[in-house]
Structure 1
Amino acid sequence: MNNIAIYPGSFDPITNGHLDIIVRASKIFDKVIVAVLENPEKKNPLFTIEERVELIKRVTKDIDNVEVESFKGLLVNYAKEKSAKVIIKGLRAVSDFEYELQMAMMNNKLNNQLETLFMMTSNKYSFLSSSLVKQVAMYGGCIKDLVPEEIIDDIRNKFK
């Protein structure tokens, strides 16, 4: 198992767009580690780190080569600890690219053995973000088809 990739993010909550990237990456790499970032810049998350890890484990349980963990600190250090050579980043639109390119270049500067693979989200999820899911759920809108079926009640319960 030398072909290890990390798919980092806050996943608050995981969406069908995230899951699409995970499934597709799992067909390319021997192992995909979904790494939930403990990001102090994101104030007032909907789910705790532990809850997010559990939700992702629940929706990826049938994908044998996917692991889910949380991490703190620099992604390049975490990648080295896990012997990963690739970071996977999902892109929805051109607007995502500029920020993600900057991050990829910094990660490469910190560790030139680490590559970033940009994967375009499927068209049907190109508008989707965790923030939009939370906003729709907060106002009682339908989040079916936006997030995995298994976690819809978890999200709804956060707004009761």
Structure 2
Amino acid sequence: MRAVYPGSFDPFTPGHLDVVDRARALFDEVVVLVAMNSSKNPDVDEGERAAAVRAGLPAGWSSVTVVAWRGLTSAYCLGHGVGVIVRGVRNTTDLQAECRLAAMNQSLGVPTVFLPAQPELAAMSSTAVRTLGRLPPRWA
């Protein structure tokens, strides 16, 4: 089964990399879908962010592809034969928001699988990394 892991990935963090790695173990193929999120204002477009994600993936991960996308995640899934959405959750706030999105995507025919963040990565967010301008030393 093919899975999609969508996000703005601004920037792609060790937590994101961990979710992709664990999703690889569960699914035949994982598409990292670098999306445009209208509620966020990234410094670079999704094409440049997709290139940065690709550069951050280990070379041997042949079952992982990276795609830039503008549109609904469910539309990508339905149009490209992807059976499930993968989402990482760091805390209960993430889980509440993700459950709302999952319900919408389920109503459109695409289920969601949640992968909880590893405890040592749960405090990291792309927003925090952007604010600091770099990864904190313990994750760099």
TM-score bucket (shorter structure)? over 0.9
Code of the aligned partner of 1:116: T
CA contact (8 A) 1:14 1:130 kept: yes
CA gap of 1:142–1:104, structure 2 versus 1, over 3 A, is closer
CA gap of 1:142–1:71, structure 2 versus 1, over 3 A, is closer
Match of 1:143 in 2: 136
CA gap of 1:21–1:142, structure 2 versus 1, over 3 A, is closer
CA contact (8 A) 2:19 2:88 kept: yes
Offset, 1:142: 5.8
Match of 1:48 in 2: 45
Match of 2:70 in 1: 72
* Counterparts of 1:142 and 1:82, CA distance in 2: 34
2:84 to 86, 92, 95: 86
Q: Is 1:57 paired with 2:49?
A: no
Match of 1:102 in 2: 100
Deviation per CA, 1:111-152: give whole Å up to 9, x if none. 2xx210000011110011000001112xxx6634435xxxxx
Identify unmatched segments of 5+ residues in structure 2: none
* Counterparts of 2:24 and 2:116, CA distance in 1: 15
Code of the aligned partner of 2:64: V
Offset, 1:47: 2.8
- SS of residue matched to 1:133: helix
Aligned length: 139
Match of 1:6 in 2: 4
* Counterparts of 1:51 and 1:85, CA distance in 2: 26
Moved over 6 A (4+): none
* Counterparts of 1:98 and 1:142, CA distance in 2: 26
CA gap of 1:146–1:92, structure 2 versus 1, over 3 A, is same
Deviation per CA, 1:70-98: give whole Å up to 9, x if none. 11111111001120111000000011111
* Counterparts of 1:120 and 1:37, CA distance in 2: 21
Offset, 1:46: 2.7
- SS of residue matched to 2:61: coil
Offset, 1:48: 2.3
CA contact (8 A) 2:87 2:112 kept: yes
The structure number with the bigger radius of gyration is 1
CA contact (8 A) 2:34 2:50 kept: yes
